[in-house]
Structure 1
Amino acid sequence: MSFSNQTLLPFSVTFFTARLANRDSMLLTDEISALRAATRRTMLRYPFTIDAIAVLPSAIHTIWHLPPGDSNFALRWRMLKTHFSKAIPDTLSRTPAQSRARAKGIWQTSIWEHPIKCARDFDTHVQMIHTSPVIAGLCKTPQDWAYSSVHRQSVIRPFVPETPRISRPAPNPIIARTFHHEGFAPHP
């Protein structure tokens, strides 16, 4: 499983997409109880909050919120994938390399991640998560999909400080007139 280098922040809120190796598989929804159990076991050992989630037949779209000072998503994903893989029947054919590594070949090795930067980014990704079953053609409205956090009373946005915008101060009008009068162009 590969992750980009993560910076340690006082908060860690990240959007993820984890996919099965076989994109035509229905394993995640067929084995939703095993996925829920694997998630609970992982959360008990290494706490995190699921701010939003949609489980599709072969993909999970989610936003996780880790405790302050903790950014180790990779450990949690590894544990969740392992618990899920061990809980389901071993029916897939494996390559010799997968057999040596005791891997079932269920998951793609990489997970797509996007650190949430601000409240608007959070809201955008929650909307993406909740509409993903509709976009995938699995239902007509987000509320029609059973495996989604859209059914919660509300999705509570965690505190994510807004990224400060760096802007240049407005030029002093007296200095600007002086530059123009003397033939100098003001700096952009």
Structure 2
Amino acid sequence: MPNYCRMHVPGGTYFFTVNLLERRRRLLVEHIDLLREAFRTTRATRPFHLIAISVLPDHLHCVWTLPHGDADNAKRWAQIKGGFSSRLRKRAWESSRRMERRERGIWQRRYWEHLIRDDEDLRRHVDYVHINPVKHGHAVCAADWPHSSFRRWVARGEYPEDWAADAPAITDAGEW
């Protein structure tokens, strides 16, 4: 198995991409309340400041900052993924191999992580989080997507309401 090197910076700010195992599923938006509850529960026991988030049907992107002195993203993601999975009813898509390991088989095991280096890097990644539903053809502009922190950023004056209205959609968006 590959040995992935992760950056452990106490109090760091990170960008993440987390995917469902079966990318054709729409579990994250179909059960958005369960995902929100998993985030709330995790933040109550392992705090972090959620800067930006966009939840798409089969994956999510977010940027968060850890508390001073804390560098443990892995336990937070394990708790979020496990919390969401345990709240879902058991389904037929669980693989026998995953069930033997007491895994639900809903999430990809790994996630993409990027340590934010400066204010410009933060801005680029927050923009990426908010443009993603438009790029995938789920919305005409970022404000149209309901599962995002974009409107919170608009309310603070960080973006205009019509930001990204002319962004091109990805042509192979799949079976949405």
TM interval, short-chain normalised: 0.7 to 0.9
Q: Which residue of 2 aligns with 1:168?
A: none
How many angstroms apart in 2 are the aligned matches of 1:133 and 1:77? 22
CA RMSD of aligned residues (A): 1.8
Structure 2 CA distance for partners of 1:39 and 1:154, relative to 1, 3 Å: same
- In the other structure, the counterpart of 2:16 is 16
Match of 1:101 in 2: 101
TM-score for the superposition, normalised by structure 2? 0.83
Q: Counterpart in 1 of 2:85?
A: 85
Asked if structure 1 preserves the Cα contact closer than 8 Å seen for 2:13 and 2:63, the reply is yes
Does the residue aligned with 1:110 lie in a helix, a strand or coil? coil
Aligned residues: 155
- 2:108 matches 1:124: no
Kindly provide the amino acid, as one letter, of the partner of residue 63 in structure 1: V
Q: State percent identity of aligned pairs.
A: 35
Report the Cα distance in structure 1 between the residues aligned to 2:17 and 2:136, rounded to whole angstroms.
14
- More off after superposition, 10-19 vs 126-135: 10-19
Change (3 A) 1:155 1:73: farther
TM-score (norm 1): 0.78
Contact 1:47–1:67 under 8 Å retained in 2: yes
C-alpha distance in 2 between matches for 1:10 and 1:76: 14
* More displaced 10-residue stretch of structure 1: 90-99 or 71-80: 90-99
Q: Structure 1 unaligned segments of length 5 or more: list them.
A: 157-188
Secondary structure of the residue aligned to 2:40 is helix
Q: For 1:40-79, list aligned pairs within 5 A.
A: 40-79=40-79
Contact 1:3 1:113 in 2 (8 A): no
Change (3 A) 1:23 1:15: same
Following superposition, the deviation at residue 7 of structure 1 comes to 4.2
Change in Cα spacing, 1:61 to 1:6, as seen in structure 2 (3 Å) is same
Letter in 2 for 1:62: C
- Aligned mates of 2:112, 2:69 — CA distance in 1: 22
- Bigger CA drift: 3-12 or 61-70? 3-12
| 3-state SS of paired residue (2:29) | helix
DSSP-derived class of the 1:11 partner: coil
Residue in 1 that maps onto 2:156: 154
List per-residue Cα deviations over 1:36-95 (Å, max 9, x = no partner).
Answer: 001100000000011000000011100011001111000000000000000011113333
Q: 2:166 is matched with which residue?
A: none
- SS of 1:70's equivalent in the other structure is coil
